[in-house]
A and B are shown apart, each in its own frame.
Chain A
Amino acid sequence: MTSPKSDLPQGTLDLLILKVVTLGPIHGYAIAQRIQQISRDVLQVQQGSLYPALHRLENRGLLAAEWKDTETGREAKFYRLTAKGQTELKSETESWKQLAKAVRLILESSEANG
């Protein structure tokens, strides 16, 4: 397990979690796995930040949690997106896109100059 550890900007992890959870009820371990897979192993989420983030989102009412059996028959805590989480995700995604666009603009312009 020596994949590069990425430093996610503040708040980004929350956004990623919300996005991953849109695909359906999912437990914490699977969220970590899913983020790693989708990012092609670039992003690896430490449980040290994953679980506090999950609990924070649950607290803010963006996620709802429920204990259910997994396919292996073991009980796990499944998270799903609430309506409030949905709106939050939409607006956060929007602002992230804008930010990314702005950053890219700046980076590309400096490349052209350099």
Chain B
Amino acid sequence: MNWWRRFVQRGKMERHLDAELRFHFDGLVADNLRAGMSEPEARRSARLEFGGLEQVKEECRDARGTRWVEDLWLDLRFALRMLRKTPGFAIAVIGTLALGIGMNTAIFSVVNTVLLKPVRAPDPDRMVEFMNTNRGGSGPIASEIEFNLWREQTNVFQEMSGYRLSSLSSTGVDQPQFVEAISVTKDYFRLFGLRITQGREFTEEEERPLGTQLFEKGHVVVLSDAFWRRVFGGDPQIVGKVILLSGDPYQVIGITAAGAQTETPKAPDVWLPFLISPNSDKQVHYFQAVGRLKPGVTVDMANAQLQVMTEEFRRKFPNTISAARGDAYSVQRLRDVLVRDVRLSLLILASAVGVVLLIACANVANLLLVKAAGRSREIAMRIALGAPRGRIIRQLLTEGVLLSIVGAALGFGLGALGIHALLAVNPVNLPRIGVNASNLTMDWRVFAFTMLAGLTTGLLFGLIPALQASRTDLNSNLKEGGGREGTGFRQNRIRSLLVISEISLALVLLMGAALLIRTLIALRSVNPGFDPHNVVTTQTALDPRLVKAAGVNPLVQNALGRLARLPGVESAALTGLLPLDLSVSNLPIIVIGRPLNGPSHGTSFYGQVSAGFFNTLKIPLLRGRDFTEADRLESPQVAIVNQAMARQFWPDGDPLNSQILIAKGLGPRLEEPVRQIVGIVGDVHDEALNRNTAPAVFVPAAQKPDIRSEGNVVAWVIRVRAESPSLNSAIQNELRQATGLPVPPPRSMDEIVAKSTSRQNLNMLLMNIFGGSALLLAGIGIYGLMAYSVQQQTQEIGIRMALGAQPGALRNMVLRQGMRLALIGVAIGIGAALGLTRLLASLLFGVQPRDPLVFVAVPIILTAVALLACYLPACRTTRINPMEALRWE
């Protein structure tokens, strides 16, 4: 029988024990009777011989080995009884803990989803992403020539796949809509364990490019289960049929299993073959590569191999990668690459919220200490009656753990609600959390974490009062009238230490919060380089077929003309490069007439814009001229560069006298004729407000035979007199009619600028919630301590008053006691913050980790709160009636 069954059946076991001993006793009596005793004598003698019945039973129970469970059970019931007697106390403690644990659960659920969950692939630990490193940093990006070389390293990599996301539109169906596409080389399916339920995967032949075009999309397609059901109604005959995507025909060759998803931000609708020639000499970086290490190969081993390969590559193609620039190839774990932008901030937030829980623990420990002080007589009595000290400690710990487990259970629910409420208020672009945070689930890991947090906190705050109480001095406690204990020096010292630590921890959190507020203010005050106010934008994927039929420029001119005629619209333009939203990969630039040692003179962002783009966004023209209606396909080819490009490419010369060649060697679809630079425009923060502007070159959309940009997506920007929903739908309607393409509802450019700082916003918001909670808890902590200490000193204060002390002086005495603790806490906190805020450095913008303003203002705020928290109980001293106080007992 195991201990659990013995425990559950302890009632039956007790009855059996009784019966067994009774049988023995009766046996003794019977023997005595047989020996000739009278019945009463026989019984008396048997009872004498038998000894203490209860003692025997007690020893038998010990021998059963379920003693600890039974004790635990008793302790639990006792703890529940105690808590029922003081519901206010129980609610205060459980509430504090539920909030603290709830916040931790919420943050941990994000950490769990983003940082801890393995990537969705077989053998997730062996999944790696290829990184290109140069002086400017490293990034997960690949060129065809590099990919082919990596693919040869079969001694370290088991399989490898190149991939690239793009956006297409589905046409030839009733409702044109966007289609999320991913182009993959054929190993991708095996790499991520994606199952094909109907049809087949790509073959090697389907992966071969047909021409010399960059990023061709082939003509076969694998559909996702969801897309197949949504668009084709689950047509069972779909495999083998031809569908139109962005006007091009593709033959459906397969359908993936339902829910097939990898680590892409959105689940793809269609999989296309990624076309790559084994002999490609293309050096443009435009896709990504993932691979799986062979079993037993570590990341370090793979990197050593890649280093050797880098040397080889450098000898073969001396112009492509340069030792001087620190160019190198490496791999990193896929999960690390996916989360590399957010790992640090998440870890900092997780630590911050842990600190809040610590402060909550300190508060609860303080409450328990007060309560234990009130119970010291009870405890002394129990010790006097023979309860071992260990048993008393266990009893008090049980109480603590019970409180915290209840708190944790509530906290789990609160955390689940909290995180979804937060993400609803602040939709944030964290990697791996899925569309609308659908991947963010409360799994067993989160539950285990919550319960562990509950247990740890229970032990943490339960232990101090337990040790304290078990050290009770029997004599003095039993003699002294109950209720005044706990003012002893030692106990107040422990409680003071708790309050001091609370204040210093709160200070550190508040400093972090303040630094993040300043970061956000600095970000908000960055001039984006254009005027986002009263500008709305929407995007369409320009369909080559449709465009060919009508002609690009007539189509665009028609659409822009219709938009401009709408009442309330000031101007409208088209662009392939929208700041903070739509960007394209870098294209190589060659300056005509300048000596070349390498494939190009550098790279630059590239955007095709209609005349009036710079005006619509109010991007200042610094020199030269803007594009005009006169810049047509047949007129001289022109370009405008931004200031960053002028500075980088013409540090001494004048760009206005130069000609450039864009995208040389990237195939006919991208290659450009030589262009004359005619103007220089101001810098715009294309990538992020806290990133420096990269070089960018603009060309007139009218000088391109067809509009092309990333996945054929172009943005329409419209400056309006005042934004309104009705104007937005009018714009959407007009564009839909003009282009015959799916048009999402227009968004305001202000919104896009604000969204570009959403991560910083989230950091700031959370850090302030944590800092605010810490401040509140620390305030309550110091208030509680001072209120209690005034209450305990009532008699002393009464005596002082009777002897003539001024109420003001007494109030100040209490204030001094409290503020001494607060100031010690603040001093320690400043010291800690000096060391710790450095960890925030990479999250900050426009403010130093040791910002003087923050280091002065935050301690002042905290001190003010502490002063208020001490002032309330201090004032109570003035209301003490000396006569009552002296009688108070």
Chain A residues with CB under 8 Å of chain B are 1, 27-29, 32-33, 46-48, 51-53, 55-56, 59, 67, 74-77
Q: How far is the CA of A67 from the CA of B28 in the complex (A)?
A: 20
Q: B19 to chain A: which residues have CB within 8 Å?
A: 75, 77
Q: Enumerate 6 A-B pairs (CB-CB under 8 Å) in ascending A order.
A: A29-B27, A48-B51, A48-B59, A51-B20, A51-B59, A77-B20
Shortest CB–CB separation between residue A100 and chain B, in angstroms?
27
Most chain-B CB neighbours within 10 Å: which of A55, A74, A75?
A55
Given contacts A27-B20, A29-B23, A55-B60, 7 further A-B contacts (CB under 8 A): A29-B28, A48-B56, A52-B63, A59-B64, A67-B16, A75-B23, A77-B16
Q: Does B21 reach chain A (CB closer than 8 Å)? A: yes
Q: Which residue of A lies closest to B51 (CB)?
A: A48
Q: Does B24 reach chain A (CB closer than 8 Å)? A: yes
Q: Does B568 reach chain A (CB closer than 8 Å)? A: no
CB atoms of A48 and B63 under 8 A apart: no
CB atoms of A55 and B16 under 8 A apart: no
Interface of B is mostly: helix
Q: A76 to chain B: which residues have CB within 8 Å?
A: 20, 23
Q: B16 to chain A: which residues have CB within 8 Å?
A: 67, 77
Q: Does B55 reach chain A (CB closer than 8 Å)? A: yes
CB atoms of A51 and B51 under 8 A apart: no
Q: How far is the CA of A44 from the CA of B21 in the complex (A)?
A: 17
Q: For chains A and B in complex, what number of residue pairs have CB atoms within 8 angstroms?
A: 55
Q: Which residue of A lies closest to B45 (CB)?
A: A1
Shortest CB–CB separation between residue B59 and chain A, in angstroms?
4
CB atoms of A47 and B56 under 8 A apart: yes
CB atoms of B63 and A55 under 8 A apart: yes
Q: B45 to chain A: which residues have CB within 8 Å?
A: 1
Interface size of B by CB at 8 A reads 23
Q: Does B390 reach chain A (CB closer than 8 Å)? A: no
Given A55-B60, A75-B19, A48 contacting B55 (CB threshold 8 A)? yes
CB atoms of B24 and A59 under 8 A apart: no
Query: Of the candidates A1, A33, A56, A77, which one forms a contact with B23 in the assembled complex, judged by CB atoms under 8 Å apart?
Result: A77
CB atoms of B24 and A47 under 8 A apart: yes
Shortest CB–CB separation between residue B45 and chain A, in angstroms?
7
Shortest CB–CB separation between residue B477 and chain A, in angstroms?
35
Given A59-B63, A59-B64, A77-B16, A51 contacting B49 (CB threshold 8 A)? no
Shortest CB–CB separation between residue A33 and chain B, in angstroms?
8
Shortest CB–CB separation between residue A95 and chain B, in angstroms?
23
CB atoms of B23 and A52 under 8 A apart: no
Q: A67 to chain B: which residues have CB within 8 Å?
A: 16
State which residues 1-43 of B face A: CB under 8 Å.
16-17, 19-21, 23-24, 26-28
Q: Which residue of A lies closest to B65 (CB)?
A: A59
Q: Which residue of B lies closest to A32 (CB)?
A: B24
1/0 per residue, CB under 8 A from A, across B64-75: the answer is 110000000000
Q: How far is the CA of A98 from the CA of B297 in the complex (A)?
A: 59
Shortest CB–CB separation between residue A44 and chain B, in angstroms?
9
CB atoms of A52 and B59 under 8 A apart: yes
CB atoms of A46 and B27 under 8 A apart: no
Q: A59 to chain B: which residues have CB within 8 Å?
A: 63-65
Query: Of the candidates B52, B56, B65, which one forms a contact with A51 in the assembled complex, judged by CB atoms under 8 Å apart?
Result: B56
Q: How far is the CA of A77 from the CA of B24 in the complex (A)?
A: 10
Query: Of the candidates B24, B56, B59, which one forms a contact with A29 in the assembled complex, judged by CB atoms under 8 Å apart?
Result: B24
CB atoms of B62 and A52 under 8 A apart: yes
Q: B28 to chain A: which residues have CB within 8 Å?
A: 29
Q: How far is the CA of A99 from the CA of B28 in the complex (A)?
A: 34
CB atoms of B63 and A56 under 8 A apart: yes
Shortest CB–CB separation between residue A29 and chain B, in angstroms?
4
Q: A28 to chain B: which residues have CB within 8 Å?
A: 20, 23-24
Q: B24 to chain A: which residues have CB within 8 Å?
A: 28-29, 32, 47, 51
Shortest CB–CB separation between residue A41 and chain B, in angstroms?
13
Q: Does B232 reach chain A (CB closer than 8 Å)? A: no
Shortest CB–CB separation between residue A87 and chain B, in angstroms?
20
Q: Does B78 reach chain A (CB closer than 8 Å)? A: no
Q: How far is the CA of A52 from the CA of B49 in the complex (A)?
A: 17
Q: How far is the CA of A56 from the CA of B62 in the complex (A)?
A: 9
CB atoms of B65 and A52 under 8 A apart: no
CB atoms of A47 and B62 under 8 A apart: no
What 7 A-B pairs have minimum CB-CB distances, sorted nearest first? A29-B27, A55-B63, A52-B59, A56-B63, A52-B63, A29-B24, A77-B20
Shortest CB–CB separation between residue A67 and chain B, in angstroms?
8
CB atoms of B23 and A51 under 8 A apart: no
CB atoms of A52 and B20 under 8 A apart: no
CB atoms of B23 and A47 under 8 A apart: no
Given A1-B45, A55-B64, A47 contacting B59 (CB threshold 8 A)? no
State which residues 489-536 of B face A: CB under 8 Å.
none
Q: Does B50 reach chain A (CB closer than 8 Å)? A: yes
1/0 per residue, CB under 8 A from A, across B193-212: the answer is 00000000000000000000
Q: How far is the CA of A33 from the CA of B34 in the complex (A)?
A: 14
Q: B50 to chain A: which residues have CB within 8 Å?
A: 47
Q: How far is the CA of A84 from the CA of B17 in the complex (A)?
A: 24
Shortest CB–CB separation between residue A84 and chain B, in angstroms?
14
Q: Which residue of A lies closest to B49 (CB)?
A: A1
Q: Which residue of A lies closest to B57 (CB)?
A: A51
Shortest CB–CB separation between residue B793 and chain A, in angstroms?
53
Most chain-A CB neighbours within 10 Å: which of B17, B52, B60?
B60
Q: A77 to chain B: which residues have CB within 8 Å?
A: 16, 19-20, 23
Q: How far is the CA of A77 from the CA of B19 in the complex (A)?
A: 9
Shortest CB–CB separation between residue A108 and chain B, in angstroms?
37
Q: How far is the CA of A40 from the CA of B416 in the complex (A)?
A: 74
Query: Of the candidates A27, A29, A52, A75, which one forms a contact with B60 in the assembled complex, judged by CB atoms under 8 Å apart?
Result: A52
Q: B20 to chain A: which residues have CB within 8 Å?
A: 27-28, 51, 76-77
Q: B63 to chain A: which residues have CB within 8 Å?
A: 52-53, 55-56, 59
Q: A47 to chain B: which residues have CB within 8 Å?
A: 21, 24, 50-51, 56
Shortest CB–CB separation between residue B65 and chain A, in angstroms?
5
Q: A33 to chain B: which residues have CB within 8 Å?
A: 27
CB atoms of B21 and A51 under 8 A apart: yes
Q: How far is the CA of A106 from the CA of B306 in the complex (A)?
A: 78
1/0 per residue, CB under 8 A from A, across B139-172: the answer is 0000000000000000000000000000000000
Q: How far is the CA of A56 from the CA of B59 in the complex (A)?
A: 10
Q: How far is the CA of A73 from the CA of B50 in the complex (A)?
A: 23
Q: How far is the CA of A47 from the CA of B27 in the complex (A)?
A: 12
Q: How far is the CA of A53 from the CA of B776 in the complex (A)?
A: 58
Q: A52 to chain B: which residues have CB within 8 Å?
A: 56, 59-60, 62-63
Shortest CB–CB separation between residue B778 and chain A, in angstroms?
52
Q: How far is the CA of A42 from the CA of B234 in the complex (A)?
A: 92
1/0 per residue, CB under 8 A from A, across B857-879: the answer is 00000000000000000000000
Q: Which residue of B lies closest to A52 (CB)?
A: B59
Q: Which residue of A lies closest to B52 (CB)?
A: A48
Q: B59 to chain A: which residues have CB within 8 Å?
A: 48, 51-52
Q: A32 to chain B: which residues have CB within 8 Å?
A: 24
Q: How far is the CA of A28 from the CA of B17 in the complex (A)?
A: 11
Shortest CB–CB separation between residue A99 and chain B, in angstroms?
25
Q: A46 to chain B: which residues have CB within 8 Å?
A: 51
